[in-house]
Amino acid sequence: MVDVQLSEIEKSYGNCRVLATLNLHVAAGQYVVLLGPSGCGKTTLLKIIAGLEQPDHGQLCLGGNRAEHLPPRKRDVSIVFQHDALYPHLSIRDSIAFGLKSLSASERRSRIDQACQLTGIASLLDRRPDHLSGGELRRAAIAKAIARRASVRLLDEPLSAIDSHVRHGIANALIDWHTSHPGTTIHVTHNGQEAMHIADLIAVMGTSTSGGNQIVQLARPEEIYRTPANKSVALSIGSPPMSFLGAKIKQGQLTFTDDCFRVVGHWPIPSDRDQDIEIGMRSNAIGQVSPKADVTKNGLLISGTVTRTYFSNDHWIASVKAADQVVLADFTDRPPTVGDHITLYADCQKCHLFDTTGQSLAVKRPR
């Protein structure tokens, strides 16, 4: 197994700066997911690692050795493209075997059999790509990469544009592959739930202050969820998305312009500097309380009107409008009726403060 080290990577297409001083280290044997919106440079980064694109500046090391000038065939890297890239005129068996020509016939058969076992495509081997569904094509493309047994495996949106139940099965196949055939895997997606399901570490990509994209946070899934570095990271993870309320820090106190928001107890403030901020809160951090309840625990009371409810998995979500702001709240039992005026409580320990640039404010959590 080898590690992947990207240092100060820059890449532009004409006047469009795609990657800006990007740094990322993926340890040998890790499964890292690159998470970010479409167009943020995730695929470009994979192509640089694979040797299909050259960086304008920066270094790529594979296993400690400089690799940015090596041709793709000398990098021991396999890549599964978003659009599968199977040979249209060959059967799936022949497509998989094409990259194994240097092996003996018996070794080729063994690798194809193992790849089929992991991906469940044994019954598809004699078909051509135009006779397969989207999910079957994706499994076949992954099987091709499995059979190669490269030290570094790159997966470009391997679970996109396929049915949810098929996506779940393929995700489990990817985890089984990584576990049973250890290597270093870098997986690209724009889907936060997918990243949470699969990754050892999530590398969230976002726009730098100088333009272009870079890694804005690299951490375990639970850390990305619980302590996002900025607002874009917070929005990349979790369903439904985090809600945000505008507020102010004034003379060391948290204040609101409307009386439908009321701070309860002590809310720790990161500085005495007066500034506008946003409070981020996930739906499971917000619960309904009686308007007359004597709430003393540090947090925020929100009075608003229910504008919509919907069922998601095993609970209800209610959209509640307070003044001109909207929050989403979880209800395990039946939710309130649209039009009801209700009071919500958000525990400050489960809320996040962001400045006007979207950066997280360092807050000492109360005990």
DSSP sequence for 2-36:
--EEEEEEEEEETTEEEEEEEEEEE-TT-EEEEE-
Relative to beta strand 299-312, strand 261-264 is antiparallel
User: What span, in angstroms and rounded, lies between the C-alpha atoms of 342 and 251?
Assistant: 30
User: What span, in angstroms and rounded, lies between the C-alpha atoms of 17 and 49?
Assistant: 18
Mean pLDDT of 72-86: 88
| Residues 200, 262 within the same domain | no
* pLDDT for res 314: 86
| Residues 287, 196 within the same domain | no
For residue 35, what pLDDT band results from cuts at 50, 70 and 90?
very high
User: What span, in angstroms and rounded, lies between the C-alpha atoms of 214 and 205?
Assistant: 5
Mean pLDDT of 172-186: 93
CATH number, domain of 346, equals: 2.40.50.140
| Residues 337, 256 within the same domain | yes
| Residues 257, 228 within the same domain | no
Instruction: Judge whether 238 lies within some domain.
Output: no
User: What span, in angstroms and rounded, lies between the C-alpha atoms of 226 and 319?
Assistant: 22
Percentage of the residues of the chain whose pLDDT score is greater than 70 = 98
**CB-side neighbour CA atoms (13 Å) of 208:** 17
* pLDDT for res 90: 95
| Domains identified in the chain, total number | 2
| Residues 119, 193 within the same domain | yes
| Residues 247, 214 within the same domain | no
* pLDDT for res 366: 38
285 has pLDDT over 50: yes
Query: Structure tokens of 120?
Result: 């469940």
| Residues 206, 107 within the same domain | yes
Q: How far, CA to CA in Å, does 169 sit from each of 75, 79, 158, 176?
A: 30, 20, 12, 11
* pLDDT for res 273: 86
Instruction: Judge whether 237 lies within some domain.
Output: no
Mean pLDDT of 43-49: 97
Question: pLDDT tens digits for 290-324?
Answer: 877 778 789 999 999 999 999 988 899 999 999 99
Instruction: Judge whether 360 lies within some domain.
Output: no
54 has pLDDT over 50: yes
For residue 354, what pLDDT band results from cuts at 50, 70 and 90?
very high
Closest CA to 41 of 27, 62, 56: 56
Domain boundary among 189, 210, 232: 232
Q: How many CB atoms lie within 10 A of CB 310?
A: 11
Place of tokens 């895997």: 185
Query: Structure tokens of 266?
Result: 């002590």
> Does an H or E element contain 145, and which?
helix 134-148
Query: Structure tokens of 113?
Result: 């059999």
| Residues 336, 300 within the same domain | yes
Domain boundary among 179, 205, 232: 232
* pLDDT for res 100: 93
* pLDDT for res 362: 66
CATH number, domain of 68, equals: 3.40.50.300
Residues 6+ apart with CB under 8 A from 341: 303, 304, 305, 306
- Return the bridge partners of 17, or none: 12
CA quadruple 146, 149, 152, 153: dihedral, nearest 10: -10
E strand intervals along 39-198 = 57-62, 65-66, 77-80, 152-156, 184-189
User: What span, in angstroms and rounded, lies between the C-alpha atoms of 276 and 250?
Assistant: 9
34 has pLDDT over 60: yes
Instruction: Judge whether 48 lies within some domain.
Output: yes
| Residues 304, 281 within the same domain | yes
User: What span, in angstroms and rounded, lies between the C-alpha atoms of 186 and 204?
Assistant: 13
Instruction: Judge whether 366 lies within some domain.
Output: no
Mean confidence (pLDDT) of the chain: 92
Instruction: Judge whether 361 lies within some domain.
Output: no
Instruction: Judge whether 121 lies within some domain.
Output: yes
C-alpha of 37 from chain center = 9
Mean pLDDT of 235-255: 94
Domain boundary among 212, 232, 252: 232
| Residues 215, 265 within the same domain | no
Instruction: Judge whether 363 lies within some domain.
Output: no
8 A C-beta contact, residue 211 and residue 20: yes
Q: 339 lies in which domain range? A: 243-354
Triad 361, 219, 53: Cα angle to 5°: 110
C-alpha of 102 from chain center = 37
| Residues 22, 153 within the same domain | yes
363 has pLDDT over 60: no
pTM listed for this prediction: 0.91
- Return the bridge partners of 97, or none: none
Percentage of the residues of the chain whose pLDDT score is greater than 90 = 78
For residue 210, what pLDDT band results from cuts at 50, 70 and 90?
confident
| Residues 247, 209 within the same domain | no
